[in-house]
Structure 1
C-alpha cells in the first residue's frame, strides 16, 4: 500500500508536485471566493507559478483568515458536503470544514498509507482509543483508513481503562491508537488487575496529541516511561483538520513522512521566507486533492524542523521532526525563549505529578509570566524543590510552580466543548 512516488527521486517528487499545484491553482481560481479575491487583490497571474519556489509569490493564509472568512473557503455547493467537522479551537474559535464524498475517500487513503508507513497491514486489528464523534476528523479518518487498508478496527473511544482492557483481552488487537499519556493509565490499570502487558498481543501504538521524541529522535521522558513497562513500538503521527493529511513515522522512527501526492510543505521564517535547511520554522502547507475546502500556503502555527536525507526505509520523502511548539505559545522568559512542550517533558519526569496545567500571562510591565499548577498525591516542600531544581538544570530558568487540587486542574483542562485536554492557558493579550 506504499505509493511509488514516495520512493521516487527528489527531482521526480518536485516535478510531480508542481503539476498537482497547477491543478490546485486552477481549481481555486474557479471555485474559491477567498483565493480568487486574493489573486485579484495581489495581481497574481497563476500561470506564472511554475515551480515550488514560485509559491513565495503568493501571500500566506492564516488561521485568522479561516475564522474571518470561513464560508469563502468552501469550493463546492452545500449539497456536495457529506460530512461536517470543526477544528479543536485550541487557539481561537473553531473553524468549520465541509468534506465531500471524494474528500472522505482521500482521508481514507491518507490514513491507510500512513498506517502502512508504520508497518500495519490487512492482517492487523487496531483498537481506536480516540473519539469518532463530536465533529472530530481524526477518529473518523482512523476508522476509514483501517477499512481502506483492510485491517480490523475496534471503536472503543477515549478514556475508560477498564473497557479498553476488556476489548484488548476479548478481541486481541495488534495495534492501538491513543494519546501517549493515556498509555500510562492503561499500564497502571494492568498492574492493579494483574494483566500481563507483554502477553497482551499489542505490537505497537500510533500516538497522537503529544510528542514521543526529542529533536534527535531519541525517546523523551514520556516514551521511556511507557517502554519501561510495556515492550511495544511507539509511532508518532502529526496531523490537523486543516491539513486533511497525516505525517506518520515509518519503522525507522526518524520523523513523520510527507505524502507528496497529498500535501506540499514549506518551513517559513517570520518573514514568510523559507528557512535554511536544518533550521526550524513555521510549517506551512498546501493541500492537494481536497475538493471541499483546499488550502494554499496555510500557516499551521506549529514550529518544526524538516529532515531531507533519504530514510533507511527507502522513501525519499521529507520527514517532519517533533513539533517544537505552537508559534503563538512561544514564551520570552527572563531572556530565554521557551515553548510549553519543553516544560511538559520536565514534568513528565516526576511520577508524583498526576496532573498539571501551564498558565501564561503578562505582568505589570508587559513581559511574560509562567505559572505551573501541579497536582500530586502527597505534596511536600522537598518534592517542590526537586521539581524546581530540575527546571533550573534543564531550562536554565525557573517559572512559578505551585501545588493545586487535581479536580481544579482537570476543570481547567477540560472546558466546555473541549475534545482534548487543554495543557496551556494563555491569558496574554
Structure 2
C-alpha cells in the first residue's frame, strides 16, 4: 500500500513538479552558495536558463572532492541559526563530507523514510530493530525518525553489540531488522553459534542498505531468516537513507522518490547521459533541500534506470541494485576488475560462505591479487576441489587470473560488526 499519493502520480504530474522544484533549487544554490555561483558562472549558465529538467544537462556536476574542498560548511545555503542538524560521512578517504538540515529538510527526510519503510512492508505497530549506527552516520537517525513517522515502534540498538542484538530479536520478537547485508549474515552466524535457529525468530522483513546487495546474497538472507529482504538506498550528500527502496511486492528495482531527488545515468568516463536501461554512474539532484541543495551529484554508484510502471502500481522510476562503484574499479596488471564481479561468484556458490577478501600487492613492478574465501559450514568435500570450482567460475568472468586463491574454514575471515564491511585491501 502506498504511503503517499505522490507514489501513484502520472509521469506528466511528476514532471511538472520536478520542473518547478529544479528551477527553485538552482536559484537557491546560485543565490546562497558561492561554490555553485562560481561553478554556474564558469559554465556560462544562469538560473534563468533552467526552466525544468530538460535543461539539467547544462548544469555542471558536483563531486565528493567538491564537498571536501568546501569543508566544513562551504556548501551550506542557509545561516547557522536555521540549521537543526548536522551529519557527516566517515572521512575514511579524506576529510569527511559535512551535511546539514533545516527543520523542513528533516520533515522531508522523515516522510521519504516513512514512505520507504511502508514500501518495504513495514506497518504501523510493527517493531523495528534498528541496527544501523547512530551519531554522525545518517543511517541510524534516518531510520529511527522514519519508523516513528510511520507509526511503528523502533528499538534503537545501533551498530554492533551482537549478543544484545540477538537477545532483542528473540525476546522482543522484532518484526523488522534494519542493517547492512554483511552484518545481517554475521547475526545469523552468531545466533546459530548460540544454538538459536534464525528461522524461529519473529522477523518477517529485513531492510538492507549501506553496502552493495546482490540477488544471491538476498537469497542467502531470506533463506537463513525466513524473511523478505528489501534493498534501500541513500547517501548523506543527498539526504541519507530514503532516496530509493524496493517494494516488497515485486522486488525488481528500487523506486526513486523523484519528487525530491532527480536521477540520471551517465557514462562515468565521458559524463554523457545514457538512455534508459543502460548501466552507468548514478547522478542525483536534490529538488527540495534547503540547507544543502546539491546539483548533479556524481554518486560513483553503478546502476541503471527503468521508467516502466511497476506491478505494485508505483510510477516512480526504478534503479537497479548497485553493481559496484565507478571509483572502486581495480586495475590489476592493466586489466579492469570490479569487486562486484568476484562477489557474484562467491554468493552464487552454495559451498562458499558469503565472506571473502581481496588483497592486492606489488612484487617489483608486477601486481599480484590474492582472493581468500571461506567454505560453507555444511560443505563436506575437499577445499582443493572447491578451490578448483571457484577458479573455473572466476576465469569465466575475469580477464585476469588471481595469483593466489585460498579457501579457509568458516570464521577465518574477520567480521565487521559496526560500519560498512571492507572487502578490498590494496597494499600497493
Task: Using the TM superposition, give the Cα deviation of residue 8 of structure 1 relative to its aligned residue in structure 2, in angstroms.
Answer: 1.6
Task: Using the TM superposition, give the Cα deviation of residue 351 of structure 1 relative to its aligned residue in structure 2, in angstroms.
Answer: 5.2
SS of aligned partner of 1:73: coil
SS of aligned partner of 2:124: coil
SS of aligned partner of 2:210: coil
In structure 2, the partner of 1:343 is: 342
Task: Using the TM superposition, give the Cα deviation of residue 390 of structure 1 relative to its aligned residue in structure 2, in angstroms.
Answer: 2.9
Q: 1:69 to 1:392 in 2, by over 3 A?
A: same
**Alignment RMSD, CA only?**
2.9
The yes-or-no answer on 1:43 pairing with 2:44 is yes
Cα separation, 1, equivalents of 2:33 and 2:368 = 42
In structure 2, the partner of 1:259 is: 257
In structure 1, the partner of 2:19 is: 18
Q: Deviation digits for residues 213-240 of structure 1, max 9, x if unmatched?
A: 3xxxxx31x2222233322101011111
In structure 2, the partner of 1:235 is: 230
8 Å Cα contact 2:109/2:146 also seen in 1: yes
Q: Deviation digits for residues 59-86 of structure 1, max 9, x if unmatched?
A: 1111111111233211122233332221
The yes-or-no answer on 1:307 pairing with 2:310 is no
Q: Deviation digits for residues 3-35 of structure 1, max 9, x if unmatched?
A: 222212212211210100011112112211111
Counterpart of 2:221 (choices 216, 223, 226) is: 226
Q: TM-score, normalised by structure 1?
A: 0.87
Unpaired stretches in structure 2, ≥5 consecutive residues? none
Cα separation, 1, equivalents of 2:125 and 2:323 = 35
Cα separation, 2, equivalents of 1:353 and 1:7 = 40
Q: 1:364 to 1:6 in 2, by over 3 A?
A: farther
Q: 1:419 to 1:225 in 2, by over 3 A?
A: closer
In structure 1, the partner of 2:359 is: 359
Q: 1:14 to 1:207 in 2, by over 3 A?
A: same
Q: 1:297 to 1:408 in 2, by over 3 A?
A: same
Cα separation, 1, equivalents of 2:327 and 2:424 = 11
8 Å Cα contact 1:2/1:113 also seen in 2: yes
Matches within 5 A, 1:83-122: 83-89=85-91, 91-122=93-124
Aligned residue-pair number: 416
Q: 1:90 to 1:371 in 2, by over 3 A?
A: farther
Cα separation, 2, equivalents of 1:99 and 1:427 = 38
SS of aligned partner of 1:72: coil
8 Å Cα contact 2:101/2:290 also seen in 1: yes
Task: Using the TM superposition, give the Cα deviation of residue 257 of structure 1 relative to its aligned residue in structure 2, in angstroms.
Answer: 0.5
Cα separation, 2, equivalents of 1:249 and 1:260 = 14
In structure 1, the partner of 2:321 is: 322
